[in-house]
A = this chain, B = another copy of it.
């Protein structure tokens, strides 16, 4: 018997039929002797419906006061789905009770629409579990110290589930979603893509930030910080499949060093075609240049991803970085108006038709030559590399976007990701 947290996404809660299936699945786990805490998202479409109404009524200018009301509004979606799940569980013969974030409370800071969890009081949950109840905790929301409702931002229910699992020292947090795990790359691009049975927390972080939209990245950070064993699995398997089989399905995100020793050198290929490249040429090579350029960009609330500065020649260097494509034009205008004059150069180049492809693997830390193997595989396909950026467990290249699928498939093959991992 263990304490288990289940999290169900909006699609899994998308209709009364699906909520009934969730209830049957949770009841199966509870009957097997587990203490169950369940964190549901709002029914799919509900959050968008509510925020759509708000958008029709909202003033043109955002403000903290409006954000407060958006949180009052959006938090109702999870409260409703949690109550519905509690009702469905009773129909399955399980005692159950649902709690809104403020009822525990799940205490957050006051950053409306993007609050951070500060603490969770688990007294009520523990008492109910001891009394044999399934406890349902609303995802996505909390309450600040003045009693205002807050929400954690899109995908925040993942973070709620991990935070509850951490606070209660749960044996495992299972994230039920509409995919059946984490893959070596997107199966739509590489049909041979394979589901990973385990992936390290660090790899998952790199993959999430690179666009593998399986889990909200903050939930992975949270799981890593508190060492919460996290499993991503499908809510679309029949609810009555064998529990032992279900408990091993999906992808387990691990934190223990010894588990990672078995990891493949490269676990997956991530990619992203939402970026644009900007280069400023002939920049004087002196202290403060990077800050001069990126400080102005950051001030305009534009997020920068890859940043590259090569060694200087003749006291001049070239400075390149990538931004989201939607921010490209604004960034170039900003640089021309404010930054280039100060730098004494007018040479700026950009390209929106690029993509970023990355190999991610915890094994890269201890294996040399991985990056070289990546570059060779791309070269054999005639793909020119425009930028390179590396971290301990990731190597990313920026290439022409027309080669994206070709590059992903070549790398997937080159690192044997279509083969089951060696024992």
Contact = CB atoms under 8 A, between A and B. Distances in A.
Range of interface residues on chain A?
Answer: 35 or more
A86 B69 contact: yes
Interface stretch (A3-11, A87-95, A353-361): A87-95
- Copies of this chain: 2
Contact of A63 (B56, B59, B90, B100): B90
A79 B82 contact: no
Nearest to A138: B72
Interface in A57-98: 57-59, 63, 65-66, 68-70, 72-73, 75-77, 79-80, 82-84, 86-88, 90-91, 95-98
Contacts of A68: 97
B50 A91 contact: no
B76 A80 contact: yes
A98 B69 contact: yes
A82 B54 CA distance: 11
A199 interface: no
Interface string A7-27: 000000000100110010000
Contacts of A79: 72-73, 75-76, 79
7 contacts: A16-B57, A20-B57, A50-B80, A54-B87, A65-B96, A72-B98, A73-B87
B57 A97 contact: no
A244 interface: no
Contacts of A19: 57
Given A72-B79, A76-B76, A91-B58, A53 B97 contact: no
Nearest to A20: B57
Interface in A344-385: none
A102 interface: yes
Contacts of A86: 69, 72
A147 interface: yes
A103 interface: yes
Contacts of A149: 100
A163 B79 CA distance: 26
Contact of A53 (B57, B69, B84): B84
Interface string A123-152: 000000000000000000000000111000
A26 B54 CA distance: 18
A53 B43 CA distance: 11
Contact of A87 (B66, B75, B84): B66
B97 A83 contact: no
A392 B75 CA distance: 50
A103 B102 CA distance: 10
A402 B89 CA distance: 49
B73 A57 contact: no
Contacts of A77: 76
Contacts of A70: 83, 87
Among A70, A86, A98, find the residue whose CB has the most chain B CB atoms closer than 10 A: A86
A412 to B, nearest CB: 43
Given A72-B98, A72-B100, A102-B102, 18 more contacts: A16-B53, A16-B57, A19-B57, A20-B57, A57-B84, A59-B87, A59-B90, A59-B91, A63-B90, A65-B95, A69-B83, A69-B84, A73-B83, A73-B87, A76-B79, A100-B149, A103-B147, A103-B148
A298 B100 CA distance: 37
Nearest to A65: B90
A69 B23 CA distance: 15
Contacts of A69: 83-84, 86-87, 90, 97-98
Nearest to A60: B91
Contacts of A103: 147-148
